[in-house]
Amino acid sequence: MFKPPMLTALHTRSIAAMAAAGTVLSTGLGWAQGIPATNGGAPAAPAPATDALAAPDAAAGLDHLAAATATLPHDLSPWGMFMAASPVVQAVMIGLALASVATWTIFLAKSLELSKAKRKARASLAALEQARSLTQAAESIGFEKTPATAFLRAVIAEAHQSADAPSQEGLKERAASRLERIEAAEGRRMMRGTGILASIGSTAPFVGLFGTVWGIMVSFIGIAKSQTTNLAVVAPGIAEALLATAIGLVAAIPAVVIYNGFARSIGGYRAQLGDASAAVLRLLSRDMDRRALPRSVSKAAE
C-alpha cells in the first residue's frame, strides 16, 4: 500500500519519540529502586565498598569518643579536680596546703608576739628616759621580763664586778659589750620562725610546678590510651595539673609578703632595743660621774 512521504516521516518521528520516552521512564524507575541504569538500559556497576564501610567506621569513632567522654569527671570544681588527680599530684597539693596553713599560723603568732614586744619596749624606753640613775630605772621598770630589764641587770652586774678596779675607764666598754650581746640575742629570738616563711616563699612555686609537670605527663599518657585529642578529653587532666601550680602560688605569695613585713617590723623593734641600750649606758655614765665627783672633791681638799 502506498503511503505519502509526509506520513512516513511523521510515523518515524513518533516511533523515535516513544523510544526516548521509554528510555527515560526506565531510567527513572531504576533510580527510584536504587539501581541506576545506563543509557543503553543495562544496570550500572555496583558502588565501591569504601562507601559502605565509611558509615560503620564513623559510628565506631563516635562510640569511642562517647565512651572516653563518659569517664571524665563531671565535677570540675577545685575539690573535684583534686579528687580526680593522680596520687603524686594529690600529695603535692596536700603539702602545699599544709605550707599555706603554716604560713598563716606563723603570721598570727608572730604578729601578736611582735606587737606585745614593741609595746613593752616603748614603755621601757619611756621609763629609762625619765629615770636619773640605774637604781631609779630598775625600780621604775620592775621585775617584768623584758629586754630593758636584762639591760639594767647586765649593767648593774658589771658595775658591781668592776667596783674594786683601780680605774673605771673600761667600765662603759665592758657594759656596752654585754648590751650588744643581749640585743643580738633578742633580735634572733624575734626572727625565730620567719625562716620557714622564706623557705615556703622560695620553694612552693617549684613544688607546684613539679605537680603540674607530673599531672601533664599523666594526662598525655591518658590521651595516648584513649587515642583521641578531643578537647573534652584533654582539658580536665591539664586543669588538674595546673591546679597544683595555682596552689603553689597561693602558698608562696603570702609567705613572701609576710616575711618582708616581718623583716621591716623586726628591724624597727631592734631600733627600739638600740635606743633602750643607749639610755642604759647614759644612766651608767651619770652614775660614774656622781661617784667620781666626791673623789675629785676630796682630792682637791687634800
Can you spell out the DSSP letters for 241-253?
HHHHHHHHHHHHH
The residue type at 41 = G
Q: How far apart are CA 32 and CA 50, in angstroms?
A: 23
In the Cβ-directed half-sphere of 298, how many Cα atoms lie within 13 Å?
5
| C-alpha distance from residue 109 to each of 3, 113, 199, 268, 300 (Å) | 128, 6, 18, 18, 60
- What length does the chain have? 302
Q: How far apart are CA 32 and CA 34, in angstroms?
A: 6
* End-to-end alpha carbon distance in the chain: 189
> What is the pLDDT at residue 198?
94
| Spatial contact of 88 and 214, defined as CB atoms under 8 Å apart | yes
> What is the pLDDT at residue 292?
57
Closest CA to 219 of 85, 20, 38: 85
Write out residues in the chain with pLDDT < 70, as ranges.
1-76, 165-168, 229, 232-233, 292-302
Would you give the DSSP letter of residue 226? Answer: H
> What is the pLDDT at residue 96?
94
| C-alpha distance from residue 268 to each of 122, 184, 265 (Å) | 11, 14, 5
Helices and strands counted in the chain (H then E): 9, 0
Would you give the DSSP letter of residue 138? Answer: H
- Partner residues linked to 37 by β-bridges: 43
| Spatial contact of 269 and 121, defined as CB atoms under 8 Å apart | yes
| C-alpha distance from residue 61 to each of 66, 228, 277, 280 (Å) | 9, 10, 82, 87
Contacts for 16 with CB less than 8 Å, ≥ 6 apart: none
- The set of long-range contacts for 224-227, using a CB threshold of 8 Å and a minimum separation of 24, is 226/68, 227/64
Report residue 273 as a C-alpha cell.
Answer: 632595743
> What is the pLDDT at residue 31?
41
pTM of the entire structure? 0.67
